[in-house]
Structure 1
Amino acid sequence: MTQPPVLPPNDVATAEPGAEQRDRPRGALSWALWDWGSAAFNAVVTTFVFTVYITSAGFGEPGTIEAQLGWALAAAGLLIAVLAPVMGQRSDNRGRRKLWLGVNTYIVVALTAAMFFVQPAPEFLLLGLVLLAAGNVFFEFAGVNYNAMLNQVSTPASIGRVSGFGWGMGYVGGIVLLLIVYFGFIAPEVGLFGVTGENGLDIRITVLVSAVWFAVFALPVLLRVPEFRPPAGAARERIGFFASYSRLGRDIARLWRERRNVVWFLLASAVFRDGLAGVFTFGGVLAASVFGFSAGEVIIFAIVANVTAGASTIAVGVLDDRLGAKPVIITALAGLVASGLIVFFLHDGGQLVFWTAGLALTLFVGPAQSASRTFLARLIPAGREGEVFGLYATTGRAVSFLAPTMFALFVTIGGAPYFGILGIVLVLAVGLALLIPVRAEARALD
């Protein structure tokens, strides 16, 4: 005797017909492999390797080059904020999400490969900054279309697991690639194929390997997942690029009138996602300056932290589908605030404190990021995923100054680096407070 169906939480919709559901897991794996490959840009280029390389002494005066890096990334952020929602809107209207995912992905691959020509000399700094900034812009454009495809590779009942699996694959893929390039080229005096650190060759070969890595693992989603087609009756006339801004303004006004919950979530998520970014951005700084980690120990902690974040994200995706995304986000944010306060109040307890409470922080980061994506996917009216995920990218960039500003402000006020922890905790707490009133809903059908 079969059991009666159990109704899911109010932000979890029911499963779709069986035939489509049987097809989607393979598409989900192909989709998630893009996340695995994109770690080449996230982990190697923007976080642990290339940005560290172009802010080294060979490129100019310390302090000056870091400021120039900041300005380059700020310019990239401005372009993303202005262009992302329109690019997403146009891919929705024309049914070309996969096409633009491919175009933007391989532009990033080409830019990453071109970083090979950035030698450690001041005259190459501008080239490195331009390539890095442009890579960030096109990577975000690719991410808009990638996120918008989430509903194409999942059923309403499996969207949390699929999103968590993709995000977790990104963390794990980053660690695998970091281990390959670190032990293969960066750590040894003479690495694979006789590569040495002379003239920055170890780093330059690393970015080439990263470009190939991304190029290969981006192929499955482009070959296996069907192109998006607008729902029947949802296709809109094609208009010029600048006219798209007028349409965007009208669409935002319509969202505010009819789907105000979406707008409030975009605001709340922008704040807490910046706090999540701050956890990784300043985690290494705090490990070294407050808890006495050596450079090697920081790398080891980073590897363990990313593995922890990846595993927890994949595992918690199941709870996302069973309980809904909002409880997952709230629990994760509350856990982050508590763990951050433990790090602050026990900062003089040595490395053991950071290994325990610091890893607890990373345990909650991935689930909050993944569940945020699924929460929004369930709110978006059908056929407008690209546009709304474009706004998701824009709102995130619009407040990306919050965590760095609060970190710096609290360090200045407190007079010690560990006070910066309170700045990150404050951003996370404000994001949590903004999220609580947002209603969890089933995916919009209109």
Structure 2
Amino acid sequence: MAETSDDKALRKRIWGWYFFDWASQPYHTVLNTFIFGPFFVAIAATYYLNQGQVEGIADANAQAMWAWTTALIGLIIAFSAPIFGAMADSTGRKMPWIVGFSAMYVLGCGALWFTAPDASNLFWMLAAFGVGFIGAEYALIFTNAQLPGLGTREQIGKISGSGFAFGYLGGVVSLAIALLLLVEQGNGKTIAGLDPLFGLDPSAREGTRATGPFAALWFALFMIPYFLWVREVRTDQIRSSFSAAAAQVITSIKGLTNRKSLGVFLIGSMFYRDALNGLYAFGGVYAKLVLDWEVTQIGVFGVVAAIGAAIFSYIGGFADRRFGPKPVIAFAVIVLMLVSLTVINITPTTIYGMTVAEGTPDLAFIVCGILIGGMGGMLQSASRSLMVRHTDEDNATEYFGLYGLSGRATAFLAPLLIGIVTTITESARLGVSPVIVLFLIGLILLAYVNKNGDHET
């Protein structure tokens, strides 16, 4: 059967939608997890060392600072995202919001260039990181809300999985470029043995700092296909006020009492996605503080992990179509629990308390990283697909705002628990252990979620 013009337009729109994941992924891979996050924590540790703290305590306090910051950002996102979503649904427009939050992304990333290696502007750079992170998360909520209009319920899982796979591939490419051409090692060279591009000064960590503007330029460039190919229908709906949107969100939350499956899913996903975000946020930090890896080593590890994530996300999309999203989520959560248990039992010389050959802990951590990336990709993709089964296109942004709320309402919890346990144990390694409990709670609640959503099948 010949492809119609409508089919071609839809295919182009789907590919445009994929490009958002490709464009935005560097914030999570290059900045949050593998390059800037560990770099920032190393600076923060130096700050505490200069205050006279011993190394272990300084490392723990640096990790706690990062934890408290990500917790605060999560709270800001959590309680405002559904309101903005309701406002967008009431007007029928998503694009203006996506443009605005994209601008926040670019400005926040670009400002990271000014991070001072001597930690003299530490808190200003934390604020800049927060601006970019908020922009990235809000834009994601609004683009996620476009997913129901891209295919049938049976097709959504594959589309979601392919989008995540394409995004992770973008993360791999951007991270590889940053490592090969920008980020300096201890010898002042990139991992390709080159001087950082544009005459950047390794002693001032300009190559690493340049990853901020690099992520901003990457996003601006690859959002072009998105804005060209993803169109929305203009409507004559009346613009909603902030107060009216807030009232609508409150009504929707109260209405969850009549939508038991959606309510349980939002609460359950709140815990397991928070645990996953905790692993993402602290994976690179853990490698830096516990295994004493260089930032470039962490970056190479990130490339390998992101490749695994891309592959598993793509496979997960087909598994979603074959078995549905719920079994895929359960499988991913169980694997992530086992991996988390293994991670906290890895030290520079031992695994589960047993002394092993030199280099074996590093190899084990790399394998764990591949599984975290891979299962994380499957988990996010399948969760997005299961959310589509619980919503309608007319109120997609509001409900994906609630989905964002569920993913961020306790976004402070993983960093908070990690911060508390790190402070009590004075160990960056043991500090990551609370994520296992969060995964377990999410898995238990998933059992009470209807695999087909609240709608009749």
In the superposition, the TM-score normalised over structure 2's length comes to 0.82
SS at match of 2:153: coil
**Alignment counterpart, residue 374 of structure 1, candidates 372, 376, 385:** 385
Aligned mates of 1:131, 1:272 — CA distance in 2: 27
1:32-71 pair list within 5 angstroms: 32-57=18-43, 60-62=47-49, 63=58, 69-71=66-68
Instruction: Quote how far apart the aligned CAs of 1:336 are.
Output: 2.1
2:138 is matched with 141
Kept in 1: contact 2:301–2:369 (CA 8 A): no
Q: Distance in 2 between matches of 1:387 and 1:315?
A: 29
Corresponding position: 1:25 with 2:11: yes
Q: Which amino acid aligns with 2:254?
A: A
**Alignment partner of 1:365 out of 370, 373, 376:** 376
Match of 1:278 in 2: 278
TM superposition shift of 1:56: 4.4
Counterpart of 2:411 in structure 1 is: 400
Counterpart contact for 1:98–1:228, Cα < 8 Å: no
Contact (CA 8 Å) 1:272, 1:431: kept in 2 or not? yes
Moved more, 302-311 or 59-68: 59-68
Q: Corresponding residue for 1:8?
A: none
1:222 and 2:204 correspond: no
Amino acid at match of 1:44: V
AA in 2 matched with 1:161: K
For the 8 Å contact 2:47–2:119, the answer to whether it is kept is: yes
Residue 434 of structure 1 corresponds to: 445
- 1:152 alignment partner in structure 2: 149
Q: Could you tell me which amino acid in structure 2 is paired with residue 210 of structure 1? A: A
Give the match for residue 126 of structure 2: 129
Answer yes or no: is the 8 Å Cα contact 1:381–1:443 preserved in 2.
Answer: no
Taking the aligned partners of 1:291 and 1:202, their CA distance within structure 2 comes to 23
TM superposition shift of 1:204: 3.6
* Partner in structure 2 of residue 245 of structure 1: 246
CA-based RMSD: 3.1
Question: Structure 1 stretches of 5 or more lacking a match?
Answer: 1-16
TM-score normalised by structure 1 residue count: 0.84
Matched residues in 2 for 1:52 and 1:292: separation? 11
- Among 207, 211, 225, which residue is 1:206 paired with? 211
> 1:263 aligned to 2:263?
yes
| Partner-residue secondary structure (3-state), 1:186 | coil
Q: Say yes or no: does 1:90 pair with 2:87.
A: yes
Secondary structure in 1 aligned to 2:452? coil
Can you list the C-alpha shifts for 1:321-357, whole angstroms capped at 9, x where unaligned?
Answer: 2211101111111222234445567533542443445
2:437 counterpart letter in structure 1: L
Please state how far the C-alpha of 1:401 moved relative to its aligned partner.
Answer: 3.4
Q: How many angstroms apart in 1 are the aligned matches of 2:450 and 2:34?
A: 38
The alignment partner of 2:121 has SS state of: helix
Q: Are the structure 2 counterparts of residues 237 and 254 from structure 1 closer, same or farther at C-alpha, using a change threshold of 3 Å?
A: farther
Provide structure 2 residue ranges, at least 5 long, that are not aligned to the other structure: 50-57, 190-194, 346-350
After TM superposition, give the deviation of residue 376 of structure 1 in Å: 0.3
Contact residue 274 and residue 400 of structure 1 kept, 8 A = yes
Which residue of structure 2 aligns with residue 14 of structure 1? none
Moved more, 371-380 or 151-160: 151-160
**Percent of pairs identical after alignment?**
30
Equivalent-residue separation in structure 2 for 1:443 and 1:219 (angstroms): 36
Matches of 1:111 and 1:411, distance apart in 2: 28
**Structure 2 counterpart of 1:110, which letter?**
L
Once the two structures are superposed, residues 167-212 of structure 1 have per-residue CA deviations (whole angstroms, 9 ceiling, x without a partner) of 1222221221111122212235432222222444323433222211
Q: 1:369: Cα distance to partner?
A: 1.1
* Partner Cα separation in structure 2 for residue 285 and residue 211 of structure 1: 22
1:110-168 Cα distance to aligned partner (Å, 9 max, x none): 33223334444555334322211222222221111011011223332221111111112
Give, as a single letter, the amino acid of the residue that structure 2 aligns with 1:280: Y
Determine the structure 2 residue equivalent to 1:3.
Answer: none
Find the aligned partners of 2:117 and 2:423 in 1 and give their Cα distance.
Answer: 33
Tell me if structure 2 keeps the 8 A contact 1:409–1:423.
Answer: no
Range that drifts further, 338-347 or 167-176: 338-347
Equivalent residue letter for 2:32:
T
Distance 1:73 1:423 in 2: 16
Equivalent AA in structure 2 for residue 143 of structure 1: L
The letter of the residue matching 2:338 is A
The 10-residue stretch of structure 1 (160-169 or 335-344) with the greater mean CA deviation from structure 2: 335-344
Conserved in 1, the CA contact under 8 Å of 2:22 and 2:166?
yes
